[in-house]
Amino acid sequence: MMETTQSGRKIGIYSGSFNPVHIGHLALANYLCEFEGLDEVWFLVTPHNPLKEQADLMDDAFRLRLVAEAVAGYARFRASDFEFHLPRPSYTIHTLEALRRSYPDDEFTLIIGSDNWLCFDRWYAADRIISEFRLLIYPRPGYPVEESQLPPRVRLAHAPCIEVSSTFIREALRQGKDVRFFLPPAVHRLLCHD
């Protein structure tokens, strides 16, 4: 799915397995658009890493389809397979550089949870990411971030914490639980009725 956007937009890059996408993902992205100055959020579905054992990971194309269905009808969200077309393993810095080359008029902000921020120094090329791109950190319970200590291009979003996980959704579905209100209706339909 090629992204089309107007030039000069502030685009948040929300990368993840989205296994499956759920209301927590969408509510956070909605908040970041409405309250944190992003024009759009692109949900970059990460492909299966063949070097890692991920037995619970749904098919790449199916996860992308779930995200596309979930964001349909909201112009500020995009489902993206951008990382599907990059060499693997795909490092965040390479993804961000490729996005910048492909969309030179737009400004990209990496969206990560506070849990990831606390170990960000272990990410590949972390210093380059911080110096070349903006980061927006969303809060995760149990992972406090000292806002006054953040580098200049890194901001803490004051988004509400919505504790729903894809692991919880998958386990609930395995147990036959009705979790329809944790999922966008189209995702629930595809997971439970196809």
CATH 3.40.50.620 fits 10-193, yes or no: yes
| Rounded distance between C-alpha atoms, residue 117 and residue 111, angstroms | 10
pLDDT in tens, 61-72: 999 999 999 999
Tell me if the bond preceding 89 is cis, omega within 30° of 0.
yes
Tokens for 145, please give them: 């971030």
pLDDT score of 2 more than 50: no
Q: Name the percent of the chain in helix, strand, coil, to the closest 5.
A: 40, 15, 45
pLDDT, tens digit, for every residue of 141-155?
A: 999 999 999 999 999
Residue pointed to by tokens 């961000």: 96
Name which residue leads in pLDDT, 117 or 163: 117
Structure token digits, residue 6: 């107007």
CB 25 within 8 A of CB 14: yes
- Distance in angstroms (rounded) separating the CA atoms of residues 19 and 6: 29
Return mean pLDDT, the chain.
92
Question: Which pLDDT value is given to residue 49?
Answer: 65
Residue 54 confidence (pLDDT)? 67
Q: With 80 as the cut, is the pLDDT of residue 193 above it?
A: no
CA distances from 96 to 7, 61, 109, 144 (A): 17, 22, 9, 26
Closest of 136, 137, 117, 113 to residue 126, by C-alpha: 117
Q: Tokens 């759920």 sit at which residue?
A: 22
